[in-house]
Every structure is written in C-alpha cells, then in structure tokens.
Amino acid sequence: MSTAPEPEHLPDRPHWRCRVCDQPWPCPESQASLLDEYRAYPSLLKIYLSAQMYEALDDFTAYGGVPPLNLYERFLSWARNRSASGDPSVTHHSPESRSPPCPSSDSPSSGPRSL
C-alpha cells in the first residue's frame, strides 16, 4: 500500500505522554479519535478511560512519585462533558407543513352498476 497510515496518538508509558505530539495523554487528537471511535458507546469509552487512568496511576506510583491530582479531569471529565452536551442538530426546526389529517376514501368507484 502506498498510503502511509496516520500515526496513532498513543500514550508513551510510563510517562503517559503522547508519542506523536508529546502532550499529556489523552491529547486533543486522541480525544477526538476516541470520541469518534466510541461515538455509539459513550459508556464503554468511560470504562476504557477508567482502565487507562488506573494503568497510569500504577505507572506513576511505581516510580515512587506522587500521582498527579488531576488524573480524573485528564482522563475522564472531557468524555463526560462531551457526551452530556446535547446534540445541536436536534434543535433544527422544520417548517410547519400541513398534511391532510386523514386521506379521504374517495377511491375510484367502479360506477353504479345498472341492472
């Protein structure tokens, strides 16, 4: 294949910085791709992010350091805020279109049968 795959924004453990843009993971790029990937399953995204958060906590404490206090905000709050906000496309108001309340039953009759 000639098309080079886009580099995935994955965490570089144990420092949990993005391998591509060197921001604290999840970086904005990985957040966008995760939101897209789990668009239909927002609860699964939170489960996944919770697991990642505990992995990060393990890595941070394994080095004898103090874990960052904002781990929850960093790993989970952005997903909760995104999924809680309403869909703006729902507010679209369609113009009032009048439709007949009930179709009148004027089927073409076969005509009076004259005997």
Which residues here bind Zn ion, judged by CB under 5 A? 9, 18, 20-21, 27, 29
CA-to-CA dists, residue 25 to 16, 34, 49, 101, angstroms: 6, 12, 11, 56
| Helix, strand, or coil (residue 50) | helix
Task: Report, in Å, the least distance between residue 24 CB and Zn ion.
Answer: 9
Token duo for residue 10? 């994955």
Specify the residue, 21 or 51, whose C-beta has the smaller distance to Zn ion: 21
Specify the residue, 6 or 87, whose C-beta has the smaller distance to Zn ion: 6
Task: Report, in Å, the least distance between residue 12 CB and Zn ion.
Answer: 10
CA-to-CA dists, residue 106 to 102, 109, 113, angstroms: 12, 8, 17
Task: Report, in Å, the least distance between residue 40 CB and Zn ion.
Answer: 23
